[in-house]
């Protein structure tokens, strides 16, 4: 698996670096460490020759200092990863940070980006920085946003909704080389939208009955889906539990995350209703923003696309 690790010398980047090592991936992993310099450029084209010469000299000094610091950051990260037997390469890029990371990932055809939730900029706790937001939203591959230090991943929460992306998330979990005492919790949420009938007093009972029937049907389908995934993951020797909830998907998942307190949350980057190719679904955006733990947003790309559909996936496709 080819992993791209974005670093900038911040605490969040060090957490991301440790997570790249802690992930219990099977087999070999290649890690390319990237740091991006967003250096200033002249805002005015009409500088006098003397002024422009002074500007160029100042910019050259700044560039030299910035590249020196960037290579120091890369060197420390490479040393830490190579100490764990990881094959590592380092790259320094220039440009807007998120765009440079995404462009590099597309060129390298990476399977996974690992990035800290907060960089060197001042942002509030648990809120994403602009770089991690953009990378998570627009990257073509899966993205792991690291929000706190984790030495070993022992508790994992997997959100399932019948989508291809969520299915790839199950495949990712099934491929992990986690210890026997790992606990995996599967969570599915049935969302009911009260738009079947006009909202009038005369049809209130009919609407309630219809929603109850849909809830029962969708809940039973979710239980079958979870049962099959429990069987697949149970062969790993882990403790696998599951739950089905009815309500708003993002809110229910955030409550479940609070109760389970996982080291890692895994969910599809987009659900069954998402339309754009790479852009995050609304549930993934909200969970990513407010979950206090690290979040892996799975897109079925590269090494994460090996998982073959289960029978519940074919069923979910037939309902669309």
CB 122 within 8 A of CB 130: no
Interior angle at CA 66, CA 60 and CA 56, nearest 5: 15
Could you tell me what percent of the chain has a pLDDT over 90?
38
User: What are 54-88's pLDDT values in tens digits?
Assistant: 777 877 888 888 889 989 999 999 998 988 878 89
The predicted structure's pLDDT at residue 179:
85
CB 161 within 8 A of CB 272: yes
User: What are 80-126's pLDDT values in tens digits?
Assistant: 898 887 889 999 998 888 999 999 999 999 999 999 987 644 433 33
Chain centroid, CA 274 distance in Å: 16
Domain ranges of the chain: 1-149, 152-320
CA dist 171 and 118 (Å) reads 28
- Please tell me if the domain spanning 1-149 has the same topology as the one spanning 152-320: yes
Query: What are the C-alpha distances in Å from 114 to residues 2, 41, 125?
Result: 11, 29, 19
The predicted structure's pLDDT at residue 201:
62
pLDDT at 274 over 90: no
CATH of span 152-320 = 3.40.50.620
Residue appearing with tokens 């403790």: 239
pTM of the model: 0.83
The predicted structure's pLDDT at residue 275:
41
CATH of span 1-149 = 3.40.50.620
137 compared with 215, residue with greater pLDDT: 137
How far apart, in Å, do the first and last CA atoms of the chain sit?
32
Residue appearing with tokens 């590099």: 104
The predicted structure's pLDDT at residue 232:
87
Q: Which long-range contacts (CB under 8 A, 24 or more apart) does 191-194 make?
A: 191/246, 191/247, 191/248, 191/249, 192/218, 192/246
């Amino acid at each position: 698996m080819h992993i791209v690790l974005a670093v900038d010398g911040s605490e969040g980047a060090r957490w991301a670096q440790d997570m790249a090592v802690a992930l219990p991936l099977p087999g070999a992993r290649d890690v390319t460490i990237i740091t991006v310099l967003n250096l200033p450029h002249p805002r005015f084209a009409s500088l006098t020759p003397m002024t422009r010469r002074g500007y160029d000299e100042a910019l050259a000094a700044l560039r030299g200092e910035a590249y020196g610091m960037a290579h120091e950051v890369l060197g420390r990260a490479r040393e830490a990863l190579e100490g764990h037997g990881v094959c590592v390469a380092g790259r320094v890029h220039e440009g807007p940070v998120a765009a440079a990371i995404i462009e590099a990932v597309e060129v390298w055809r990476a399977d996974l980006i690992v990035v800290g939730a907060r960089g060197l900029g001042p942002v509030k706790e648990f809120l994403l920085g602009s770089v991690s937001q953009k990378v998570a939203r627009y990257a073509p591959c899966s993205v792991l946003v690291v929000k706190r230090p984790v030495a070993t991943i022992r508790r994992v929460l997997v959100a399932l909704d019948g989508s291809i992306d969520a299915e790839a998330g199950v495949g990712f979990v099934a491929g992990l080389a986690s210890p026997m005492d790992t606990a995996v919790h599967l969570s599915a949420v049935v969302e009911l939208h009260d738009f079947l009938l006009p909202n009038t007093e005369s049809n209130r009972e009919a609407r309630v009955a219809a929603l109850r029937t849909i809830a029962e049907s969708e809940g039973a389908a979710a239980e079958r889906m979870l049962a099959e995934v429990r069987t697949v993951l149970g062969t790993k020797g882990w403790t696998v539990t599951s739950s089905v909830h009815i309500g708003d998907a993002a809110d229910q998942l955030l409550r479940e995350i609070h109760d389970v307190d996982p080291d890692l949350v895994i969910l599809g980057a987009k659900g069954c209703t998402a339309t754009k190719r790479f852009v995050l679904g609304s549930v993934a955006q909200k969970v990513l923003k407010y979950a206090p733990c690290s979040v892996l947003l799975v897109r079925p790309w590269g090494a994460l696309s090996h998982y073959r559909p289960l029978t519940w996936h074919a069923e979910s496709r037939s309902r669309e």
